[in-house]
Chain A
Amino acid sequence: MPFGIPGLFTGPIQSAGTLQVLAVGLVLAGLAMSYDVIFGYTGLLSFGHALPFALGVYGTNLLMEHLGIQYPLAVVAAVIGNLAVAAILGAVALRTAGVAFAMVTLAFAEAFALLVLTDPFRFLGGEEGLTLASDYVPDIFRGVVNLRYIYWLALLFAVFVFVVAWRLVSSKAGRVFAAIRENEPRVEMLGLRPFQFKLASFVISSGLAALGGSVYLLVVRGANAGTTSAEFTLSILVMVVLGGAGKLWGAALGGLVYGILSLRLSSLANSDAIAGLPQWLSGPLSEPLFILGALFVLLMLFAPGGISSIITRTRSA
């Protein structure tokens, strides 16, 4: 039963274009939820969450291309590899807190971004990125005609992250995360060691992000240097805050909305309605980032709890 949401999507829900947009939105929803675990629940402001995601994208592709491993096994290997990397980097970074922690995580992510861009060993693809090693991808995910299966995979991923994250934050460990966010010295006084919990939170969320990267590889059919950048890490933060930090469904909503908006805003930007405006208006309005940035500023001023807070506010009003 085809139906579409005119204005938001170009075609009916089953069309390739719309499925693609939704798939991206779902991967970002999962990514946002994984970031909400460390940021919204544990209170760790990490500026390096793009790193595990990018490692998932690049790692999976490189494992397939250079070691001839099939996609499912490559995904598992990439996620496990990321868990190990996150454990090491987290152990180093969590020796600091607050702004210093943000800077260290930013630095680690930047180091990888620079490594990819300068590509000293000539296998990371540099600015152009890598194309998907489709020989090792199961037939069901190959080709535009099978886009619906990639969509289902993305949906599966988002649901999986939600389930894992929900189990985690509802568990006793999850309550310690929230306690660390609210008052870390008190947690110590209660006899618990915050470091272990922070590290666990960091590692698990990195693993989830890496899994997202592996799925994203299929959705966009390649590895792109943009996913390593500081801008991308900041946009993850934007997604979570947009939806509402500290609430998983809020973060998921933020990721979905951000994903759809960032893809669809460019066609709004190039539309005739905008082009008809005087140059000083149409110039900025044709930049999707301007609209996003301005919306975010307004959001921070009037609804810092994100979209989810607006929804809950109107429900209780």
Chain B
Amino acid sequence: MSSFVLLTISALGLAGLYFLLASGLSLIFGLMSVLNLAHGAFFAVGGYAAWFVMDSLDALSPGPRFVVAVLASAAVGAVAGAVVELGLIRKLYGKHTEQILLTIGLGTAAVALMGGWFTFDPRLLAQPAWFGNTTAILGANVPNNRLLILGVAILLFAGLMVFLTRTRHGLIIRAGVENPSMVRALGIDVSRSFTLVFSIGGLLAGVGGALGAVFFNGINPSLGTAQLIFAFIVVVIGGLGSIPGTAVASVLVALTQVYVNNYGATGMGSISVVVLLAAILLIRPQGLLGKVQA
């Protein structure tokens, strides 16, 4: 029983990471019809920002230092997202295929750039001591870092939902996902929402990168891209443009992957996720909670 609890909470931690990576993708595609294949780079950039803070800010003790590290990764991710949108994506306004292809080139170049600067060897993040400790939950000893990742992900999910439902900008984004031409016809400048959405996506992915460096025991330039495929699967299963859908799908995908890897054969977990995707797409092409027709 205790190993089941441990496995489940670990899987939920992974689900948190998937959510952080996938929610930005979902919003970006839902609003802009752009498949941002460079999203993994935002993840890696955030991870490196966090590593940099943990490595250099000796003045602070590890606990608060980690908080600063996460904030740094969020800020760096947000800026990266905004810069990419303003500098590159915007130049190809309306040309969706070209935008997707640009993100492919950008993602490849960004990962190679980081590899050139930092090498491809994983860098370990210095972590506060209590990350390594465990807490007893339902008879299982759960590593604290898993709980932290889950907690941060839930916090950001709540924050994102509040932003989308309670603020004007969030309302514009949701309207834009449903009907971009109508929003423009109402005289609202959708392009600002595009930058905002890219920025939010970058922020979430950046935090994901910082936490991912903890979860995967090290940050390397390709870490985000390796997880990006699962993030896309999560986005499609959950429904493009739907944040609650992304959250549900993250949990579903992570649980499937971890359970099959443990109770089935190792390595079959990822394949079963792929099968899950195909199955859901055949039964319900718009995803679990999606409104946008894929």
Residue of chain B at shortest CB distance from A269: B116
Taking CB atoms, residues of chain B closer than 8 Å to A238 are 101, 104-105
Give the dominant DSSP class at A's interface. helix
Cα A300 to Cα B100 in complex, Å, equals: 10
Interface size (B, Cβ < 8 Å)? 43
The segment from B208-216, B232-240, B243-251 that touches chain A is B232-240
Taking CB atoms, residues of chain B closer than 8 Å to A108 are 274, 278
CB within 8 Å of B: which of A252-299?
280, 282-290, 292-297, 299
Residue in B35, B102, B277 whose CB lies within 8 Å of A99: B35
The segment from A29-37, A65-73, A80-88, A109-117 that touches chain B is A109-117
Q: Is B294 an interface residue (CB 8 A)?
A: yes
Q: A287-B112, A290-B109 are in contact. Are A297 and B277 (CB under 8 A)?
A: no
Q: Is A230 an interface residue (CB 8 A)?
A: yes
Q: Is B68 an interface residue (CB 8 A)?
A: no
Q: Is A301 an interface residue (CB 8 A)?
A: yes
A118: shortest Cβ distance to chain B, in Å? 3
Cα A118 to Cα B240 in complex, Å, equals: 30
Taking CB atoms, residues of chain A closer than 8 Å to B79 are none
Whether A118 and B102, one on each chain, are in contact in the complex, defined by CB atoms closer than 8 angstroms, is no
Q: A293-B105, A301-B91 are in contact. Are A99 and B29 (CB under 8 A)?
A: yes
Contact with A along B273-289 (1 / 0, CB 8 A): 01101100110010000
Whether A103 and B109, one on each chain, are in contact in the complex, defined by CB atoms closer than 8 angstroms, is no
Q: Is A100 an interface residue (CB 8 A)?
A: yes
Interface size (A, Cβ < 8 Å)? 46
Whether A103 and B113, one on each chain, are in contact in the complex, defined by CB atoms closer than 8 angstroms, is no
Cα A108 to Cα B229 in complex, Å, equals: 12
Taking CB atoms, residues of chain A closer than 8 Å to B268 are 118, 120
B25: shortest Cβ distance to chain A, in Å? 11
Residue of chain A at shortest CB distance from B292: A99
Whether B236 and A296, one on each chain, are in contact in the complex, defined by CB atoms closer than 8 angstroms, is no
Q: Which residues of A are in contact with B by a Cβ distance under 8 Å?
A: 45, 92, 95-100, 102-104, 106-108, 110-111, 114-115, 117-118, 120, 230, 234, 237-238, 241, 280, 282-290, 292-297, 299-301, 304
Q: Which 8 A-B pairs have the closest CB atoms?
A: A293-B109, A118-B267, A296-B105, A283-B116, A293-B108, A290-B112, A284-B116, A100-B294
Known contacts A280-B117, A290-B108, then 4 further A-B pairs from the complex at CB < 8 Å, ordered by chain A residue:
A102-B35, A284-B116, A289-B112, A293-B107
13 sample A-B contacts, Cβ–Cβ < 8 Å, listed by A number? A99-B236, A102-B35, A103-B294, A104-B277, A107-B277, A114-B270, A230-B229, A284-B113, A296-B105, A300-B92, A300-B98, A300-B101, A300-B105
